[in-house]
Amino acid sequence: MSDKTDDSNFFWQNKYKRDTRYAEQLTDITDAYANELKMMISFLHIPSGKTVFFKAFITDYSETFNSEWKSEKVYGRTDPLYTYGGTERKVKLSFDIPASSESEAYENMTRIQRLIQFQYPAYFNTGVDENNSSEYVIGQSPLIRIKAMNLIQSQLRGEPPFAGWGDNPGKASAQTRKQQLYDSYLSSPLPENGLLAAINNLNYNIEIGKAALFEKAANTVLPQVYKVTIDFAAIHEQTVGFNENGQPIDAGFPYGATEFAVDAKQKVTADASYAKRIQFERDNQAAADIAKSKFRGAFGKMRRRNAIKKGSKESATDYDRALGNEAMDSLSQEDGETITKEIAKINK
């Protein structure tokens, strides 16, 4: 659960102090970008439940998947025997923390301060020593959940929203399901949906001389820009790989995107014609566009029946089949009683 005392998920450059140097209040478009579009990077410290958010000014992002293999040389073999040990996912994330006002620069300092605190574990108080000082032992390691849009997110997402469509006459056409899969690909900004990680390195610099420092008061400055880089190892929370049937155990790993499985006859093989597949996709798209108006109005039902019958024939072209699928898709949008009557008429 997110930290209810953390207000860093709300961005406003006048939150701590209104800038009185200008007649009108400053407006920072990046505040709206983060607040409304939720373009944020968030961190959830597992031991404490504390959170912190930053605007998503990502300057560098890379991932590395390192597979461990142990080799053993065998007499008489040209190559050694290799034994697989595991695959480690490592991520490098760099982002800037800019400030458009002294108020925001001060809040950014509190944000970076909290992120630094997250690098330390939770301790249990075991009492006091002979000097009346508290004694502590480590109780929990400083694991963190990191969320950066859909690029860095939890592996535990469950089944995709449109998986397991039944084989019934009213199911949506392939083109419709592709569109639904695409439209459903969204990412929650909540930090508890972040990727479980062990941060190996956190460093930042303020590039004095390149970026201005706000001179808040005597002997007190506030950096205008922090440049942060984090290296971390992702912790897999469920098994990643393939089952005995050759199917992925987690088909959405690591970004949650669901691949649409095409019919075997549609797949382009090495010796197949790419032009034919392109034409097939164009026929599907054209059928979807035409279906929006063709199966409506006074004669819509009649045209729909004819399209379904024509598309079900062995001699049907790819376009006829696509239009028949779209006609069936439009039929699936009606109530159950209407569907039963329509199917009965089509099968006469």
- List the pLDDT tens digit at each of the 348 positions of the chain: 567 788 888 888 888 877 665 545 566 788 888 898 999 999 999 999 999 999 999 999 999 999 999 999 999 888 999 999 999 999 999 999 999 888 999 999 999 999 999 999 998 888 777 776 777 788 899 999 999 999 999 877 544 444 444 344 445 666 677 788 888 888 888 899 999 999 999 999 998 878 788 888 999 999 999 999 999 999 999 889 999 988 888 888 898 888 777 666 666 655 567 777 777 777 777 777 777 677 766 677 777 778 888 877 878 877 787 777 777 777 665 544 555 565 566 566
Q: Kindly state whether residues 151 and 202 are assigned to the same domain.
A: yes
Identify whether 263 is part of a domain.
no
Domain that holds residue 339: 274-346
Instruction: Retrieve residue 276's tokens.
Output: 């034919």
Q: Kindly state whether residues 204 and 339 are assigned to the same domain.
A: no
Are the CB atoms for 131 and 186 separated by under 8 Å?
Answer: no
Query: Rounded CA gap, 90 and 66, in Å?
Result: 8
The residue among 234, 260, 294 that closes a domain is 234
Q: Kindly state whether residues 210 and 290 are assigned to the same domain.
A: no
Identify whether 239 is part of a domain.
no
- Total count of domains within the chain: 2
Identify whether 181 is part of a domain.
no
Burial class (CB in 10 A: 0-12, 13-18, 19+), 251: middle
Q: 109, 62, 107: which is closest to 206 by C-alpha?
A: 109
Quote the pLDDT of residue 166: 39
Q: Kindly state whether residues 302 and 215 are assigned to the same domain.
A: no
Quote the pLDDT of residue 164: 42
Identify whether 179 is part of a domain.
no
Quote the pLDDT of residue 218: 92
Q: Kindly state whether residues 144 and 91 are assigned to the same domain.
A: yes
Beta strand segments in the chain, E: 40-45, 51-55, 57-72, 81-98, 122-128, 134-140, 144-148, 195-205, 213-217, 220-223, 225-234
Instruction: Retrieve residue 3's tokens.
Output: 């930290």
Quote the pLDDT of residue 30: 87
Q: Kindly state whether residues 149 and 201 are assigned to the same domain.
A: yes
The residue among 177, 209, 234 that closes a domain is 234
Quote the pLDDT of residue 163: 42
DSSP state of 195: E
In angstroms, what CA-CA distances link 153 with 41, 48, 172?
10, 20, 30
